[in-house]
Chains A and B, each alone.
Chain A
């Protein structure tokens, strides 16, 4: 009996020890391990599921032109996030997928696939939805949370930003575009990405198992800092004119490989406009802008289509003004001439003989001049105005290869200009050792390749008295409140020629633009200095045809240069392809618009004054007598239509420009305005003939081009012949010289 009871005691004690030591011991060890050793990991994972870390997008900074016009800005859009972890069953998953797909215009299966990642809290369904879709989503979320409480947070909208370019293809190559994450991909958007991006903020909140907030004061917010904005040196108006004239030029001269126009402030290097055509819509950069090419691509399939599309896209995104090199042709003679004057290898009194061709080195083939009859003996200035290749070969020889190469370098042709854009190229010259022909053809700009921006920068150096300045596009960086964060100052890299040489060159170039091969680029009243260039493209794209690049580079006014402009057409395929035929009129057209806009003072010669346009005044509501007097005071010839005594209408309208001495038609009765006249054909006439014809048809004529030139003929008119217009309507008649300037080899 005692044994039995003692055994119970023993076994009870044993059992107690077993439970306490083995049982409790093991759970204590387990808790110790979980809470102290593995605790941090588990805690992290717990926090991970409890905290929701929402990033708050920073608004990307805007891009403004120098006058504050918005060229690029960002606006709110939303990103639709699905948190499939909240789904309780497949029915809910199906339902939400179906509804979402319907609202967002997606395929239901695709959404369902996202919804099937059942332990995920973050599946991006669609990005950049705008407010109408957002409203629909919000309504659906409301409905959903009424139906299934568990699904309150299954759909989340995150604010995001979308980039808008209000002017579509305006300055596309310069501004650039952004990718799907708002990151800059090209142009200034890429170059200044770090400034524009800003710092995204984040909100950390603690959520319960169903995704709603917990009653804890746990909410951390880091504000997003919006990106900085850029103020460009680009002037919207200048850019507009560049693009307008380039577009027209491309049509007129059947240009197939695009065109470039760059306008810089010669003293500071500020780029006032940089137009690159063909362009593309920044709001839709992945669409092929060239319609015929796009149609062609549509016909292709598979890999071929993809490759062709990529090829076309990279071509349309390419900034020709800074990335592509070309043979500057005769424009480069400005550089050669400057170097010769600076090195005293020749002077204004030097003479050069041209017999129509020149053998630069004994035993070599002769290299011809565009004037096969030869220019005869020319002075230094005449050689440039004639754009005489033999003369420049002689200049190059007098300069010597070494000096030529030094100036090539110092004008910055073998290095990047440092403009604040990505993908800048550099010019090239033949590799050493140089042969004598290299120097000979290099002297007149063949065999040297340069980028447009290098060329215009080099010409700016000639214009501004010899300083090579760094071109730049961003003037200021502003913070999100508009305070100036950074201002970019002009940078002078080095002086490449003396002021004296520069002045001489400016005079010669002005002479060239008024009398020489560059006269088609002349604009009355503005002392334009310029040089044309036509170069042959090597490795042309078209079969059985020679491809040319027609360019014109000049500056104004010649006595105190302020702006330089380079216009360059790649492969004009019309009848005209010379720089003087193609680039010069466009140059003149642009200069004629931007010089007045920029407030460059006019300096007319006596002759020019005759053709100067005058602004018509407002003669409405005046008595016939008053109006007539005022019109005469303004320098017009009044012309009355109708029987009334007060002026009810006038042609041209107040503010229109017509040449001094032109007709102002004053209508005194309303029905008299219905009188019309026919526009005559005035192409191919001299200035005098045009004037006579205009008088005959009671229309006004505005002259464009260097009309004071002897023997100059009109080649176009702004209103087509035989159109019916009101009497007094202004028709612009374009005058140009059909002389060719030069070509090479």
Chain B
């Protein structure tokens, strides 16, 4: 469907750039400014060049996600706020903002993001730093993750995830030839990861570290970093984690790891309380069976499963819609990821490919990690389910990121004409 027919042209441009010794991104802006502007104007007709299948997939998942989040959250919302619609009205508002952002971004030529890549990362780091000094609802022991602006919170790590993808897409598209070297392939990644890791560790937000690590790994992998480094990194990470564990600095993470995989077994009262959420998630999933209890019929959402609107929303989905419903939703997610990656790997330049595939991979990873958490195959850490879990910053970011993918699809399709 998407062909990179003018690759030769890009190659020429880049050869010239290389000859001059300029750092020019691969395949970036081969056209004259005048031409480009002309072409950009053509984008202002709605829907032109968009990948409608992908758009439909997003719309489908978003609608199902909203409905299921509502179903899962209304008893808790009623109990907590005296208003069953507390979460859903907000989430719809976020979805509206997100959709607007998505369409907006889809017109915004992603190539401009080259410029924003380092700035985005810097901003993300700055936000994560600020967060550390903000009070978090009065509880001094609560993780410092939220940036409150006018009643709505932003998770700094959400911004960071996107910034990392953007940064490494940019990096990879510039230094694609040197990615096999330690200096360009490994060292920058380690540096960025170190800073990000320290900031997330300080919050603390260990699942954020894991996701960031995976995102960077994906980006480096796509950029062509030789496989041997991944093996080496894997060994290194294991060593670091074990060292931290030994020195006892993983107390918070360990407290969450405690009871991992033994939610159904009673050992101590304390453990029983710790594994409460996971256990009730398993009860919910198991209660669903093949066909589920029926939409709206979950029992576990009635104050058994704490905060069913958040990370554990899919457990209620499983309870109400059963294995069949869960598989349909997972199939939709799989299709979304497939479609997104399929679009992006056909982008006309390397930046688009790296950026788009990275964004889609992030969604795929989060889906998998979230469900592994709610099914007690991973420790309960706080990884939300894209499009389903309640949360303004995450939903808006997510939809904006989908806007980038749409923009990539638009660019690829327009170029094809």
Contact = CB atoms under 8 A, between A and B. Distances in A.
A4 B330 contact: no
A33 B338 CA distance: 25
Contact of B287 (A7, A13, A39): A39
B365 A46 contact: no
A50 B302 CA distance: 9
B224 interface: yes
Contacts of A119: 266, 269, 272
A50 B368 contact: no
B286 A1 contact: no
B303 A210 contact: yes
Interface stretch (A16-24, A290-298, A665-673): A16-24
A4 to B, nearest CB: 5
Given A19-B361, A30-B375, A50-B304, A4 B269 contact: no
B221 A39 contact: no
B377 A30 contact: yes
Interface string B309-325: 00000000010001100
Nearest to A15: B361
A34 B302 contact: no
A685 B318 CA distance: 102
A12 B286 contact: no
A160 B223 CA distance: 75
Contacts of A7: 224
A194 interface: no
A36 interface: yes
A623 interface: no
B300 A46 contact: yes
Contacts of A35: 285-286, 288-290, 318, 322-323, 326
Contacts of B223: 8
B81 to A, nearest CB: 14
A20 B364 contact: yes
A50 B285 CA distance: 15
A11 B222 contact: yes
A431 interface: no
Interface in B263-290: 264, 266, 269, 272-273, 280, 282-290
A46 B177 CA distance: 57
Interface stretch (B56-64, B99-107, B350-358): B350-358
Contacts of B266: 119
Place the interface of chain A in its size category: 35 or more
A49 interface: yes
A9 interface: yes
A282 B379 CA distance: 61
A12 B353 CA distance: 9
Nearest to B12: A1
Contacts of A15: 218, 221-222, 341, 357, 361
B288 A5 contact: no
Contacts of A49: 283, 304
Contacts of A214: 299, 302
B346 to A, nearest CB: 8
Nearest to B326: A31
A208 interface: yes
Contact of B286 (A23, A26, A43): A43
Q: Could you say which of A4, A7, A34, A36 has the most chain B C-beta atoms within 10 Å of its C-beta?
A: A34
Interface in A33-48: 34-36, 38-43, 45-47
B299 A42 contact: no
Interface string B72-99: 0001000100000000000000000000
B354 A42 contact: no
Nearest to A4: B176
A206 to B, nearest CB: 7
A495 B375 CA distance: 80
B126 interface: no
Contacts of B29: none
Contacts of B26: 1, 4
B75 A16 contact: no
B372 interface: yes
A29 to B, nearest CB: 10
A30 B218 CA distance: 24
A151 to B, nearest CB: 14
B221 A31 contact: no
Contact of A19 (B4, B337, B375): B337
Contacts of A8: 222-224, 345, 350, 353-354, 357
Contacts of B290: 35-36, 39
B269 A31 contact: no
B330 A24 contact: yes
Given A15-B222, A19-B365, A206-B299, A31 B283 contact: no
A11 B224 contact: yes
A9 B2 CA distance: 12
B227 to A, nearest CB: 10
Contacts of B53: none
Contacts of A40: 286, 289
Nearest to B225: A11
B371 interface: yes
B142 interface: no
A26 B368 contact: yes
Nearest to A37: B286
A24 B272 CA distance: 29
B62 to A, nearest CB: 19
A28 interface: yes
B287 A16 contact: no
A422 B334 CA distance: 75
B367 to A, nearest CB: 8
Interface string A89-124: 000000000000000000000000000001100000
Contact of A42 (B273, B282, B304, B338): B282
A11 B375 contact: no
A19 B333 CA distance: 11
Nearest to A85: B272
Contacts of B377: 26, 30
B236 interface: no
Given A1-B7, A12-B341, A12-B345, A46 B224 contact: no
A538 interface: no
Contacts of B272: 118-119
B327 interface: yes
Contact of B364 (A13, A23, A45): A23
A20 B337 contact: yes
A42 B283 contact: yes
A214 B297 CA distance: 11
Nearest 10 pairs between A and B by C-beta? A42-B286, A209-B303, A23-B368, A208-B302, A46-B283, A19-B364, A12-B345, A209-B304, A27-B371, A35-B323
Given A36-B290, A46-B280, A118-B269, 18 more contacts: A8-B354, A12-B344, A12-B357, A16-B364, A19-B337, A23-B367, A24-B367, A30-B375, A31-B371, A34-B285, A35-B285, A35-B318, A36-B289, A39-B287, A42-B286, A50-B299, A208-B303, A208-B304
19 contacts: A8-B223, A8-B354, A12-B357, A19-B337, A20-B338, A27-B372, A30-B375, A31-B371, A34-B286, A35-B288, A35-B323, A36-B290, A42-B282, A42-B286, A46-B280, A46-B283, A46-B304, A50-B302, A216-B297
